[in-house]
Chains A and B, each alone.
Chain A
Amino acid sequence: MAENARSGFGVIGRRLRSLAGSGAPDLVQQKRLTGPMPWVFAIMVALTVIAAAAGLALSNMVNSAADALSGGATVQVVEANAAERDRQAREAARVIQAMPGVAEVHLVSQDEIQRLIEPWLGMSIGNEAIPVPALVDVRWSSPITGERLGQMRHRVRQVAPAARVDAQSTWLKPVFSAIDSLQWLALALVGLIGCALAAAVLLAVRTALGANRDTIEIVHLLGGTDSQIARLFQRSIGFDAAGGGAIGLAAGLVVVVLLGQRLDGLGAGLVSTGALGSLDWALLVLVPVVGVLLAVVTARLTVMRALKRML
């Protein structure tokens, strides 16, 4: 019996604090970080923190980009003749500027356009070699509606037949859609890890229940209630989850910070807008807390259900 009792995470042990006050010994022996369960928790929590951080960063990225682009529109004048292209662009900028609700109209200079396309086409490509459309960047004071976009197209077409008017948000729709899928993937990962955590707790508690069956029966026969016995296991699994959760949180946060620094180094606009805010960090810190609660509740339900089959 002694051998059985020492196995598993929740071996009934030296002290009985859970049955009485804080000065009493625990009945459930604490193996602290020497058993496998805290490390399983640590891995689960670290993975959850990383997945949650990715989901939150993606969410921030989408929100930030959507805010920036919601009031933006771009006019492209696709005309081979440079002089005519410039004229139509200037006319388009003029009529748009006159529209109510327009906050800013910026006629993008050829130098700016050259700088934009330089990484792809190189410095030596001149305007004559590959005609580049003239661009007008328009910023509305509020998000662009379909009606506004229609009005703008109508007016621009009257003065610049070679112009094409697009809301900036529509360009990034496929990107937003992909990011949206990644967010759902991150959420699903968090959910799956939570389920795996609950399953690991269930298996550990069942093993511990089997290993401690004799002691549970003794406590029952001495008048112990199901709740008292369940508390012993809750306490044991709670300690394991708290210890493992702290380690997992620390490891997860280190990975998130390092990954953030690497992505910052890319200098990509969208990535930098996905930085985590203080609320996001607070949510990540809550991951092990939720993990401990999940573990304790799973342990209690498992033990109570098993005890109901005993007299």
Chain B
Amino acid sequence: MTSTPDGEIVQFDNVGLRYGADREVLSDVSFTLYPGSFYFLTGASGAGKTSLLRLLYLAQRPSRGMIRMFGTDAITLPRERLPALRRRIGVVFQDFRLVPYLSAYDNVALPLRVAGVPEHELARPVADMLEWVQLGERMHALPPQLSGGEQQRVAIARAVIGRPDMLIADEPTGNVDPDMAIKLLRLFEALNRMGTTVVVATHDLHLLKKVPESLIMRLDKGRLSDPTGALRYPPRPHGGFGLRG
């Protein structure tokens, strides 16, 4: 896993984002994310969570500020080099964003195919991943034939199949039952233990208690609340995280 010399996987420094001539939806956002850490991003609706996530998964460039990802300046990075960074990030979208005319199997296989993995090498991991999210028997179903919860599990399987360095999930448990929510969190934790940095945006405050080792990033009206400075950038000389969930 590549990170900056200081060990950060993501650095935001005074980042601001505005759409058109409207007021900023994110203001002066500064934080660092470290490899192998687990973060919850919380905040009320409209606080800017989705905007912050879009910056994190490189769907958007900020209006101002500095962003470094995996040791690379993501602001000045030519767009031809963005795909290489994006392949290191797994994303679970709030609205799933599955390709509606691809089967569950093909949706999950998509990141591997984009990365050029040969067909004979991807069949087993894709099938295993679908088995893990309990969709092994529905792998040939199209998304419109799946329930909301099943679609969400396909989206999660697609996000983690490539063993990303960073996993970003926007309300990943919103459409699943409590048992499945716990199961998915355990999957995220397992990935996290293998070194993947996990960022989960959620409204569900109960979820925070399920991962005691997690850090909490709270957004309020576009500003990041960081009372202890645990997420601040530049990082504190001796590191350490103070915002335990």
Using a CB–CB cutoff of 8 Å, the interface residues on chain A facing chain B are 1-2, 5-6, 11-16, 19-21, 23-25, 27, 29, 214-215, 217-226, 228, 308, 311
> Contacts A16-B113, A20-B117 given: A221-B101 contact, CB under 8 Å?
no
Q: Is the CB of B83 within 8 A of A311?
A: no
Question: Complex Cα distance A129/B102, Å?
Answer: 89
Q: Is the CB of A223 within 8 A of B115?
A: yes
Q: Is the CB of A311 within 8 A of B61?
A: yes
Min distance, Cβ B54 to any Cβ of chain A, angstroms = 10
Q: Is B119 engaged at the interface, CB distance under 8 Å to the other chain?
A: yes
Which of A1, A29, A223 has a CB less than 8 Å from the CB of B84? A223
Find chain B residues with CB under 8 A from A217 CB. 59, 97
Q: Is the CB of B91 within 8 A of A15?
A: no
Using a CB–CB cutoff of 8 Å, the interface residues on chain B facing chain A are 57-61, 79-80, 82-84, 86-87, 91, 97, 99-103, 106, 109-111, 113-120, 144, 158
Find chain B residues with CB under 8 A from A218 CB. 97, 99, 110
Min distance, Cβ B172 to any Cβ of chain A, angstroms = 16
Find chain A residues with CB under 8 A from B118 CB. 20-21
Q: Is the CB of B119 within 8 A of A221?
A: no
Question: Complex Cα distance A2/B84, Å?
Answer: 29
Question: Complex Cα distance A116/B206, Å?
Answer: 108
> Contacts A16-B106, A223-B83, A311-B60 given: A2-B114 contact, CB under 8 Å?
no
Which of B58, B60, B99, B117 has a CB less than 8 Å from the CB of A215? B99
Question: Nearest CB to that of B116 among chain A residues?
Answer: A20
> Contacts A24-B119, A214-B97, A311-B61 given: A222-B114 contact, CB under 8 Å?
yes
Find chain B residues with CB under 8 A from A11 CB. 101
Question: Nearest CB to that of B84 among chain A residues?
Answer: A223
Q: Is the CB of B101 within 8 A of A12?
A: yes
> Contacts A222-B110, A224-B83, A311-B60 given: A12-B116 contact, CB under 8 Å?
no
Question: Complex Cα distance A226/B78, Å?
Answer: 13
**Interface pairs A-B: 5 shortest CB-CB:** A223-B87, A2-B100, A23-B119, A223-B86, A19-B113
Q: List 17 A-B contacts (CB under 8 A).
A: A2-B100, A5-B100, A19-B114, A20-B117, A23-B120, A24-B113, A24-B119, A29-B101, A217-B97, A221-B57, A222-B87, A222-B111, A222-B158, A223-B83, A223-B87, A224-B114, A311-B58
